[in-house]
Structure 1
Amino acid sequence: MTGRPDRRRDVGEAIYADEVGIEYGVYGAFRLRSAYQPIFAPRGRSLKAVAVEGLIEPHRAARPVAPSMFFDCIPGEDRLFVETMCRMLHLRNFRNIGVDGLDLFFNYNPLINDHPGRAMAEIRLMTRHLGDFDLHPGMLVCEITEQAADDKVLVSLVREMRRDGIRIAIDDFGTGHSTEERISLVAPDIVKIDGAWFAEFCRHAAAERFFRPLVSMLHDRGAKVLVEGIERSVHLRVALDGGVDLLQGFHLARPALAGTIFNEEPLAIDALLAWTTRSFRCISGTDDRAKTNHW
């Protein structure tokens, strides 16, 4: 299939299944595959996987391409179609993880979903079909990304999702429009600290001392705190010392394509903290390319 899709089609018509039942989407020359990155919670001296975030790995000519390259080439009028397809893929493929008790985080761009009637219809369509995928709303966490939004529309959408039982997260806090003002507006259940911002923050000698009050402030506002982009042992140490609730990043686990065997074994915190900057750099050459080219 080449060229742009007919936007009058139902998104389901652009989703297919491979020989083992893993579903993928087709948009023009691209094939879109779901990948899931584990999210961990501290449990004593271990980290336990409690959720995954649904991510997209675009392929062209059977080779993975950078998501930024794929999403940047989508014309504005097709973006809602593609975002809806990506979300549906994550919902449909989630049961292939084969692990009970995990929650599913998915992204929601408020700049794309800016038409109140259309956006509301998308949410209602999604929740109506959750049972078809062995899901229920309490398993879902909607990450509101950092793009601009019409406040009235955003509040209405959040209210609709909460009415169904879906939890709300503010994604990439510290960047774009993921600010304290948005936290006040939507009262999220979870705040995700932006990984790049956090990595820069961890360069400061007093990072632990200054991070703890931020976590306490977010807790006081009724939100759990998730730090993403944990790529070095120092990031993990600062996050744990700050009292965060959830952690995500390449130092803990990489995204894995739908259908990959999920490793349920808890991670030993002491071993992760002992993984030095030097050892990280020795093996990160290939990993950095994977980060750029896959997710």
Structure 2
Amino acid sequence: MSGRRERRRDVATAIFADEIGLQFGIYGEFRLWSAYQPIFAPEGGVLKAVAVEGLIEPRRIAEPVTPSIFFDGIPAADRLFVETMCRMLHLGNYRNIGVEGLTLFFNYNPLINDHLGRALAEIRLMTRRLGDFELEPGLLVCEITEQAADDHVLASLVREMRRDGIRIAIDDFGTGHSTEARINLLEPDIVKIDGGWFAELCRHAAAERFFRPLVGMLHERGAKVLVEGIEHAQHLRVALEGGVDLLQGFHLARPAPAGVIFKDEPLSVDALLDANNKIVPLHQRR
């Protein structure tokens, strides 16, 4: 117990705020900043921003570092500490988005918290602090990443979060361990289709015909379908014709650091489907 208490104190003392109130974390020589990528829902002829996914932008001496390089370099003993810090940063910076009512997606790696008691303690700590962040549990979606995990631990963790009002998403569906078996186990509220898998699907002439039954099957299971990695007009076309509920990707909007002005005007589907269209800017810096 004392070890867990010490870890929690360390996370709190590793988070700071700059002169305008933006929170950042310090881990070794790195500074960690929250960024948020919008998630859109189709509504008539437009896409409306309804959620954001919290992502980390690591910097070393003010120079950006690729997140995969940063996370791959974290020793196993520090991974729980860093994941907890990242989650707290996303919660703490949520108010700096400047748009109320957006759902916040955050990632959860089941391999890091593979001890049931420790995993439940971390989630309970988070939910107890939501009031400090001016967040309601119903605004949160926990994305279970595709790593292998103990089914008992994972199912218990999901029950705990659902009891608190947090929704559950399965990330990277179509790859690794994000399979139909995991859907049967967790009964997610949202299934995120892996962007790389979806991009390969879109290379086929009959992509829409193959994709629509998958979306229908997931809807029958009671899950909404989110396609990530929308990088081209063709990706958007296949996703929309497949009947998906939510969309995310660089063709719609890139992640933007906390504190950047969020422009929540709906995006025109017709403009995005124009083959000559480039990335649509959603944000502008203050």
> Residue 199 of structure 2 aligns with which residue?
199
Cα offset for 1:10? Answer: 2.7
2:99 matched to 1:99?
yes
Please show how residues 102-117 of structure 1 align to structure 2 within 5 Å: 102-117=102-117
Aligned to 1:50: 50
Distance 1:35 1:77 in 2: 25
Residue identity (%): 79
Q: CA deviation at 1:7?
A: 5.0
| 8 Å Cα contact 1:169/1:191 also seen in 2 | yes
Which consecutive unaligned segments of at least 5 residues does structure 2 have?
A: 1-5, 280-286
Q: CA deviation at 1:100?
A: 1.4
1:125 and 1:60 mapped to 2: Cα distance?
Answer: 29
CA contact (8 A) 1:30 1:59 kept: yes
Report the Cα distance in structure 2 between the residues aligned to 1:52 and 1:129, rounded to whole angstroms.
20
For 2:147, the aligned partner's letter is: Q
8 A contact 1:162–1:168 mirrored in 2: yes
**Alignment correspondent of 2:250:** 250
Q: Give, in angstroms, the shift of residue 261 of structure 1.
A: 0.2
TM-score by length of 2: 0.94
Q: C-alpha separation between the residues in 2 aligned to 1:104 and 1:10?
A: 24
Q: 1:28 corresponds to which residue?
A: 28
Residue equivalent to 1:176: 176
Superposed displacement of residue 9, structure 1: 4.2
2:213 equivalent in structure 1: 213
| In structure 1, distance between residues paired with 2:113 and 2:174 | 22
Q: Secondary structure, in 3 states, of the residue corresponding to 2:32?
A: strand
Q: Which amino acid aligns with 2:59?
A: H
Aligned equivalents of 1:40 and 1:167: distance in 2?
Answer: 17
Partner Cα distance (1:246, 1:275) in 2: 21
Counterpart Cα distance in 2 of 1:8 and 1:122: 9
Q: Which runs of 4+ in 1 moved over 4 A?
A: 6-9
Q: CA RMSD in A?
A: 1.5
* Alignment-derived partner of residue 16 in structure 1: 16
Provide the C-alpha distance between the structure 1 equivalents of 2:21 and 2:7, rounded to a whole number of angstroms: 25
Which residue in 1 is equivalent to 2:235? 235
1:145-197 deviation digits (Å, cap 9, x = unpaired): 00010000000000000000000000000111100000000000000000000
> CA offsets, 1:123-153, max 9 Å, x none?
0000000011010100000000000100000
Where 1:146 maps in the other structure, the secondary structure is coil
Per-residue displacement from partner, 1:228-287 (whole Å, max 9, x unpaired)? 0000000000000000000000000000000000011100000000143xx54xx8xxxx
| SS of aligned partner of 2:261 | coil
Query: For 1:124-163, what aligned pairs fall within 5 Å after superposition?
Result: 124-163=124-163
**CA separation in 2, counterparts of 1:11 and 1:61?**
21
Deviations 1:93-126 (A, max 9, x none): 0011111120000000001010100110000000
**1:252 and 1:263 mapped to 2: Cα distance?**
12
CA distance in 2, matches of 1:82, 1:275: 41
Query: What TM-score results when the alignment is normalised by the length of structure 1?
Result: 0.91
AA at the equivalent of 1:36: Y
State the alpha-carbon separation in 1 of the partners of residues 99 and 51 from structure 2.
10
